[in-house]
Chains A and B, each alone.
Chain A
Amino acid sequence: MTEPLVRPQAKNPLRRTRLPLSPQGVRSRTAHGLTAAAAQGRFALQVCLDCNTVIYPPRDACPSCLSARIPFRDVDRGGTLIAETTVQASTDPYFRERTPWRVGTVRLDAGPIVVAHLHGDTVEGARVRLELKLDKSGSAVAIALPEKDTENMADDPHLREMTCDPKFRRVLITDGRTPVGQAMAGAFADAGASIVFVGLADAWKPLPELDRLRKIERVEIVPLDLTDTESVTEQAEQNGARIDIVVNTAEHVRAGGVVDRHGLTIAREEIDVRYLGLIRLAQAFGPILRARGADGVNSAAAFVNLLSVHALMNWPAYGSYCATEAACLSAAQCMRAELRPGGVKVLNVFFGPLETEWFQTVPPPKVTPTALAQAVVRALRQGLEDAFVGDVAEDVRQRLAVNPKALEREMAS
């Protein structure tokens, strides 16, 4: 079993905050096939279409038959830890701060032998599960986990470097007025977050669910209006240095296309709440998150975007909304590059229609706010960058990969 994490003590405000460092993160274009799999929590290696050899490390030709037809495919992650060693000294600044560090070789049942980081509960000679994770540099690495879950296994320091587990972290839910925001507050409290800040705009407007929200353990309601730059800035000044995960729950869902709408009022609101709201959050919270990427057990860990899967392909019935979601997706990609030096992940969670008021007329399947919130917590615990929640999101992802043009036509019908 893993030594359980101890709730971090209050930080000495006079102590220097150490700057985040990253392990070496350069990968070949081909090797980013592993990054793509790790970002979604899949275990994929190259598989030769001609001789079925499973290939590791990534190559441009099959080492067995020289075929160039070697796409990444999901493969069995089971294997045996055949040898391990512990690095006691390193010249790499990132690892110097983290030694001793166990590494080992895992013989996969699928064939290849992989050099991997080792979870503390793995034992030489025993069965392991290999996972691909994004390390602090944002690149894929392999880590061997014990075959079966062990107690407190998420608290393993090596693993926690690669995940964004909310346990003992402080979370900001940016909008507590939405059902998703409220579900998110509950999910993060349940996940062991030490404070769940919940933003509330326009305190003069009633919120029937406010009492219920206040009763959730460790929830603190804070004033926050994503359409007001000053409000976002003030919240970051007030609490930014003790927020480790930001979950942007602001939404603006209205039906209507780009042609079939009268005027720009709604479009401006969409852009203001969603796109500009994201930029305001990014400018106010981004720099302090990035600076606190190595700030102990409750280091800054993630910025979570909740995005319609139709950011990836427009759904004309909600076309203008989708266009704004696409803008947010693009901004999120930029944020990834900007926050990566701090080791802070940007998690994009894609979903189809929600079981909420503004999707009232849309038939199922729909994603409930609770399911979405649980999926966000799960994705953070896994350390993902992209998660697809629900049947519609998964369907769009798959169809997009096969034939985007067909999907474009299908969304219009």
Chain B
Amino acid sequence: MSGSINLLSFAQAVAAGDIRVIDLTQTLSQEFPTIVLPPELGQCAPFRIEEVSRYDARGPAWYWNNISLGEHTGTHFDAPIHWISGKDLPNNAVDTIEVAKFIAPACVIDCSRECAANPDFALTVPFVEQWEARHGAIEPGSWVLLRTDWSKRSYADYAGLRNDGAHTPGPEPAVVKWLVEQRDVHGFGTETIGTDFGQGHHFNPPYPAHFYMHGKGRFGLQCLTNLDLLPPKGAVIIAAPLKIKQGSGSPLRVLALVAGAAPATRHPRA
């Protein structure tokens, strides 16, 4: 088997554009929304940047910044230890997760049309089954990425905050449990601010994407972008979080590898 894999030709294909590399990452900027919790609870720090020097008296020949942010700021990875259901699993933090798990294939479920006018769209088992009827079953060990085109929205629409909290699409409890138990997925990824439904605190269990995924040692990715550039199947995701000691998650650069050169052959809407 190993004899048949030629990494040099892989690298050459990337260089030649025969394998496209697509950036699924939002730029870390101060303005990008960070998850909002009730104000009496601890909050995730937004991204901040402080210039140390810029070819000036503070450092004549060099430019650099100090940055501050939370583990769950911007495009980020959720490790199983993030949730109480995954707290006792082995190798459950970003520094101890087996590194091979940072590369995995992806199934992209497009519900952008359903979400367009309905921020309370909830992903269900029948919806995924219909997707599978068109594209085949989700293979074990796959990321399931939810394409909602949420990343294209204004920040106000993106956060979707109203008097009763956030309104953004996400999975209902049954489908998360099903993806973990019936499809043995690698993790769940979204364009929205979290992997869960905006009103997910009203579900049973609350925040099912966190509860079930992390409870079974699966991962989360959120604040993704460019999911519309991925095929329903066949993309490979490279998502390696920072090696933070006992980190619950990490901002990271998420890349997708997609075979085929021509950007003109963008996949039809599923």
Enumerate chain A interface residues (CB-CB to B < 8 A): 202-206, 208, 225, 227-231, 254, 263, 265-266, 268-269
B49 within 8 A of A: yes
Of chain B, the residue at the smallest CB distance from A268 is B45
Interface pair A231/B30, CB less than 8 Å apart: yes
B150-158, B174-182, B210-218: which lies at the A interface?
Answer: B150-158
Given contacts A204-B154, A204-B156, contact A265 B43 (CB under 8 A): yes
Known: A204-B156, A206-B156, A265-B43; 19 extra A-B contacts, CB below 8 A, are A202-B33, A203-B155, A203-B156, A204-B155, A204-B158, A204-B159, A204-B161, A205-B161, A206-B161, A227-B48, A228-B30, A228-B48, A229-B48, A229-B50, A230-B49, A254-B40, A265-B42, A266-B42, A269-B43
Interface pair A204/B48, CB less than 8 Å apart: no
B202 within 8 A of A: no
A-B contact pairs, 13 of them (CB 8 A): A202-B33, A203-B155, A204-B33, A204-B156, A204-B158, A205-B161, A227-B48, A228-B30, A229-B51, A230-B49, A265-B42, A265-B43, A268-B45
The residues of A that contact B50 with a CB separation of less than 8 Å are 229
A203–B157 alpha-carbon span in the complex (Å): 11
- Least CB distance from A149 to B in Å reads 45
- Least CB distance from B216 to A in Å reads 29
B36 within 8 A of A: yes
A202–B31 alpha-carbon span in the complex (Å): 7
Interface pair A225/B30, CB less than 8 Å apart: yes
Interface residues of B in 128-181 (CB under 8 A from A): 154-156, 158-159, 161-163
The residues of A that contact B36 with a CB separation of less than 8 Å are 205
- Least CB distance from A320 to B in Å reads 14
A228–B45 alpha-carbon span in the complex (Å): 12
User: Binary interface profile of B, 31-43, with partner A (CB < 8 Å = 1, else 0)?
Assistant: 0010010001011
For chain B, the bracket of interface size reads: 20 to 34
- Least CB distance from A345 to B in Å reads 29
Interface centre among A204, A208, A229, A230 (most CB of B within 10 A): A204
Of chain A, the residue at the smallest CB distance from B34 is A202
Interface centre among A202, A227, A229, A254 (most CB of B within 10 A): A202
Interface pair A230/B30, CB less than 8 Å apart: yes
Interface residues of B in 73-125 (CB under 8 A from A): none
A205–B154 alpha-carbon span in the complex (Å): 12
A205–B49 alpha-carbon span in the complex (Å): 21
The residues of A that contact B156 with a CB separation of less than 8 Å are 203-204, 206
A269–B40 alpha-carbon span in the complex (Å): 12
- Least CB distance from B215 to A in Å reads 25
A203–B155 alpha-carbon span in the complex (Å): 8
User: Binary interface profile of B, 47-69, with partner A (CB < 8 Å = 1, else 0)?
Assistant: 01111000000000000000000
A229–B67 alpha-carbon span in the complex (Å): 12
Interface pair B43/A205, CB less than 8 Å apart: no
- Least CB distance from A284 to B in Å reads 13
- Least CB distance from B43 to A in Å reads 7
The residues of A that contact B42 with a CB separation of less than 8 Å are 263, 265-266
The residues of A that contact B46 with a CB separation of less than 8 Å are 227
The residues of A that contact B49 with a CB separation of less than 8 Å are 229-230
Interface pair B162/A206, CB less than 8 Å apart: yes
A202–B193 alpha-carbon span in the complex (Å): 15
The residues of A that contact B158 with a CB separation of less than 8 Å are 204
A405–B154 alpha-carbon span in the complex (Å): 55
A228–B46 alpha-carbon span in the complex (Å): 10
Of chain B, the residue at the smallest CB distance from A202 is B33
A230–B54 alpha-carbon span in the complex (Å): 14
The residues of B that contact A268 with a CB separation of less than 8 Å are 45
Please give me the 7 A-B residue pairs with the lowest Cβ-Cβ distance, nearest first: A204-B155, A204-B156, A228-B30, A204-B159, A265-B42, A206-B161, A204-B33
The residues of A that contact B155 with a CB separation of less than 8 Å are 203-204
The residues of B that contact A263 with a CB separation of less than 8 Å are 42
A227–B30 alpha-carbon span in the complex (Å): 10
A268–B69 alpha-carbon span in the complex (Å): 12
The residues of B that contact A202 with a CB separation of less than 8 Å are 33
Interface pair A205/B159, CB less than 8 Å apart: yes
The residues of B that contact A266 with a CB separation of less than 8 Å are 42
- Least CB distance from B118 to A in Å reads 20
A225–B29 alpha-carbon span in the complex (Å): 13
A227–B31 alpha-carbon span in the complex (Å): 11
A266–B43 alpha-carbon span in the complex (Å): 9
- Least CB distance from B227 to A in Å reads 21
A230–B42 alpha-carbon span in the complex (Å): 24
Of chain B, the residue at the smallest CB distance from A266 is B42
A227–B43 alpha-carbon span in the complex (Å): 14
A263–B43 alpha-carbon span in the complex (Å): 12
- Least CB distance from A227 to B in Å reads 7
The residues of B that contact A208 with a CB separation of less than 8 Å are 163
Interface centre among A203, A228, A254 (most CB of B within 10 A): A228
The residues of A that contact B162 with a CB separation of less than 8 Å are 206
A141–B50 alpha-carbon span in the complex (Å): 43
The residues of B that contact A205 with a CB separation of less than 8 Å are 36, 159, 161
A230–B156 alpha-carbon span in the complex (Å): 21
- Least CB distance from A362 to B in Å reads 16
A265–B71 alpha-carbon span in the complex (Å): 13
A218–B161 alpha-carbon span in the complex (Å): 28
- Least CB distance from A207 to B in Å reads 10
The residues of B that contact A227 with a CB separation of less than 8 Å are 46, 48
The residues of A that contact B159 with a CB separation of less than 8 Å are 204-205
Of chain B, the residue at the smallest CB distance from A233 is B51
- Least CB distance from A256 to B in Å reads 11
A229–B40 alpha-carbon span in the complex (Å): 25
- Least CB distance from A44 to B in Å reads 44
The residues of A that contact B30 with a CB separation of less than 8 Å are 225, 228, 230-231
A202–B161 alpha-carbon span in the complex (Å): 12
Of chain A, the residue at the smallest CB distance from B32 is A204
The residues of A that contact B51 with a CB separation of less than 8 Å are 229
The residues of B that contact A231 with a CB separation of less than 8 Å are 30
A316–B162 alpha-carbon span in the complex (Å): 36
A231–B51 alpha-carbon span in the complex (Å): 13
The residues of A that contact B48 with a CB separation of less than 8 Å are 227-229
- Least CB distance from A236 to B in Å reads 15
A203–B159 alpha-carbon span in the complex (Å): 11
